[in-house]
Structure 1
Amino acid sequence: MAPRDKTKKASDAAKPLDFKALVQGLPHVVVVVDATNRIVFANFAAENFFGLGEALLKKRALPALVAFANPLTALADQVRHTRGAVNEYELDLAMPDRPARSVDVFASILNEREDYVLLMLQQRNMAAMIERQLTHRGAARSVSAMAAVLAHEIKNPLSGIRGAAQLLEAGASEEDQPLAQLITEETDRIRDLVDRMEVFGDERPVSKDAVNIHSVLDHVKRIARAGFARHITIQQSFDPSLPSVPGNRDKLIQALLNLVKNSAEAIGDKNDGVITLSTAFRPGLSLRLPNSDSSVKLPLEICVSDNGSGVPEDVKPHLFEPFVTTKAKGAGLGLALVAKIVGDHGGVIECESRSRLTTFRMLLPMYQPSARKTGAI
């Protein structure tokens, strides 16, 4: 080794560690609060968790961020009193304008300032979200196989049934014509269902390019405002520095349009309906690919939130499975299709819902210029 290299290594080893930079890089939420429980430091993960930048977080105290008998405030006060570290598991945090989260919390006094408390939060639902997402993909694959069979075995006979019904209608009495029309209408309905299911049978790799997700969201918003959501306020909160998504623009429009339409239907005819479209950069989350040793990072977060009726608890675990719906006339394929499109883009999607606040959270990879344009990223 050259003397210059040895000197440089010795110099680097002598440098003090930049602990602030180290904490900023952690995937877990880290905040430091003062004696009044006002935030004095927040890392990037905390900004994403609370939906506010560090500058805004520093203007807030814990009670302003977490509603109801604030467990974080109680933990911070307990640590100051006992002068020891505390671990608390499965705390439910209800935030005023964000979905409730279940977290594990580590709290400790800072050695330099004994009235300052460090709080580190780890979301409990993230691993479960990934596991459910893989289950959703398995369900979509089962529908893919069924769709291929249906397309072949049902569509051809349906054409014959429809043609026969039209012939019957032409020669039927006035009393029997409505019955022939009913046969025609029902065959059309079944054919439409099979057509929609055929989408699940398309296993071809999705052609991907760099896509500006904000352009996609703007397009979806224009469509919604011109039609099914004209009576609803649509807000947006975008991270302007968000990098491109590796994706198919048309497919992403289809997925997000389905989510916005789902939100509009949940709101119904309410006069105070609000749909919020938001984006954020969320480092630290990666998904291990099935049957592989490799993983893909999913730092791009796209959310569609609404103040509608919410999702029933018994439906939540199965929300993205085919034929699961809470609508009287729904086929239960819309959200299953969204899950398939997101999966085809190498991402995951999850729903968090409570009364008057439902959020569909889509996590996607970041575009890499060297990545292939087709297949999984």
Structure 2
Amino acid sequence: MTTALAAPDPAVLIAGLVFAVLVIDPDHRLARANPVAEELFGQSEARMQGKPIAQIAMFEEPRIAALLTDAEAQFVARDLILGVEAGHRRVNLTCSPVPSHLGWRVLTFSEIGQGERDADGDERVELRAPAVLAHEIKNPLSAIRGASQLLERRANDRDRPLARLIAGEVDRIAELVDRMQQLGSRPATPSKEPCNLHQAIRNAISTVSTGRDGAVSIEEAFDPSLPPVAADAATLEQVLINLVANACDAACDAESPRVTVRTRFASGLVFNAIRFGKSTRLPIEIIVSDNGAGVDPALRDHIFEPFVTGKTGGQGLGLALVRKLVRDLGGRVSHERDERAGLTRFRINLPVAEGAGA
């Protein structure tokens, strides 16, 4: 006989939701926030409690700001620009009054472009498209390369370099296609092996530094007390190589070019990621910062999308691949620009290895 289980407490259900939830009291002040809301707004629930909602969720659309002060308003709004401490986010918003408690409301926020699946549960087009293109391109590429090799054998000395040029360009395109396929592959199960975070960072820094002239200073600011993270070391190193190399490129034109890789335990915030049907805390944080000019403001909301780049001649696949690999690890990556400090920061949040403590 199956024993009936008690229904989960509503607070537990809200804490496990994949979107941000805020509970607003009749005075338009925040009463409760779930972990995803803490992540979205960059503040802990304790820090936000009692603040007017207008000081927490700032919208460029005046009508939305006015609706948030209407205790009886019920609405759904899509593709809004939300101002938070770390910058701006594009979100969908719902506002629902609580019928049994006059003046109380529940707000939900879902970030646009952050999920890997759409509302129907299908893989996002941005991840499907590279895989489809790769499949269609690879076969004719093989034929072109074979033809170029045949031409090289038959060509005279004057024309042989042209045949080699064709082969070289085909190889370059093939490498790009391989990276596109990585974007389109299905998420892998995150490794549960304990990984030495700082060793992975040092390996990445060493790889990036090799072959560079040392003009950009790469500094470490590590918290030595951090426990091991749950991650595949090779995948994490690939992510860090991308971010550190990008940071060095971004800082190279600064007067005193500097890249800093910092690690810390995010004790003030509880980062959650919903992966494989369960909620996972992500308290281990890696911050890669540079003092370059920063990403073009027009691109900042899209830099993790494929084929979006601010680099001359860039392919726009590096950061899209970083986001996919971090998600495959069960983590989260985000970007922010601190104009006051003149710094661009990329943050990676990862889970603690099982049994390592927190």
Shorter-chain TM-score: which interval?
A: 0.5 to 0.7
**What SS is found at the alignment partner of 2:147?**
helix
In structure 2, the CA distance between the partners of 1:182 and 1:169, relative to structure 1 (3 Å rule), is: same
Q: Which position in structure 1 is the counterpart of 2:335?
A: 351
The structural deviation recorded for 1:230 is 2.2
1:190 matches 2:173:
yes
- 1:126/1:179 CA distance change after superposition, 3 Å: closer
CA contact (8 A) 1:319 1:325 kept: yes
Show the counterpart of 2:202: 218
Whether 2:268 is the aligned partner of 1:289: answer no
Tell me how far apart the structure 2 counterparts of residues 223 and 163 of structure 1 sit (CA, whole Å).
Answer: 34
Task: Give the alignment of 1:187-266 within 5 angstroms.
Answer: 187-203=170-186, 204-228=188-212, 230-266=214-250
Give CA deviations for 1:273-303 in whole Å, capped at 9, x if unaligned.
11111011113323352795x4222211110
1:180-237 deviations in Å (ceiling 9; x for gaps): 3432232122111111222224434243311121111122222233333622111121
- Aligned-partner SS, 1:312: coil
Unaligned runs of 5+ in 2: 1-33, 36-42, 59-83, 92-108
Deviations 1:75-123 (A, max 9, x none): xxxxxxxxxx98572699xxxxxxxxxxxxxxxxxxxxxxxxxxxxx94
Matched, 1:335 2:314: no
Whole-Å separation in 2 of the counterparts to 1:133 and 1:367: 30
1:168 aligned residue (151, 167, 186): 151
Q: Distance in 2 between matches of 1:207 and 1:324?
A: 29
Counting helix residues as a fraction of each chain, which structure ranks higher?
1
Coordinate RMSD, CA, aligned: 3.5
**What does residue range 351-370 of structure 1 map to in structure 2 within 5 Å?**
351-354=335-338, 356-369=342-355
Q: Would the aligned equivalents of 1:229 and 1:264 in 2 still touch at CA under 8 Å? A: no
* Partner residue in 1 for 2:116: 137
Q: Classify the secondary structure of the residue corresponding to 1:234.
A: strand
CA-CA distance at 1:175 after TM superposition: 5.6
Contact (CA 8 Å) 2:271, 2:349: kept in 1 or not?
no
Q: Within 2, Cα distance between the matches of 1:126 and 1:244?
A: 32
Q: How far is 1:176 from its partner?
A: 4.5
- Give the secondary-structure state (helix, strand or coil) at the position aligned to 2:353: coil
Percent same amino acid among aligned pairs? 40
Structure 1 length as normaliser, TM-score? 0.60
Quick one: distance in 1 between partners of 2:279 and 2:112? 15
CA contact (8 A) 2:332 2:350 kept: yes
1:174 Cα shift? 5.6
**Alignment size in residue pairs:** 262
1:154 aligned residue: 137
Q: Are positions 1:314 and 2:280 aligned together?
A: no
Q: Tell whether the 8 Å contact from 2:126 to 2:305 is kept in structure 1 after alignment.
A: no
Judge conservation of contact 2:254–2:293 (CA < 8 Å) in 1.
no
Q: 1:307 to 1:91 in 2, by over 3 A?
A: farther
1:136–1:271 Cα change, 3 Å: farther
Larger gyration radius, structure 1 or structure 2: 1
Q: Could you give the per-residue CA deviations for residues 249-282 of structure 1, whole angstroms, max 9, x where no partner exists?
A: 0000000110000001112255611111101111
Change (3 A) 1:275 1:138: farther
Q: What is the CA-CA distance between 1:153 and the residue it aligns to?
A: 3.0
The code of the aligned residue for 1:358 comes to: T
Q: Does 1:89 align with 2:55?
A: yes
Matches of 1:91 and 1:135 in 2, distance apart? 18
C-alpha distance in 2 between matches for 1:299 and 1:367: 11
Deviation at residue 335 of structure 1 after TM alignment? 0.6
> Aligned in 2, Cα 1:288/1:301: closer, same or farther, shift over 3 Å?
closer
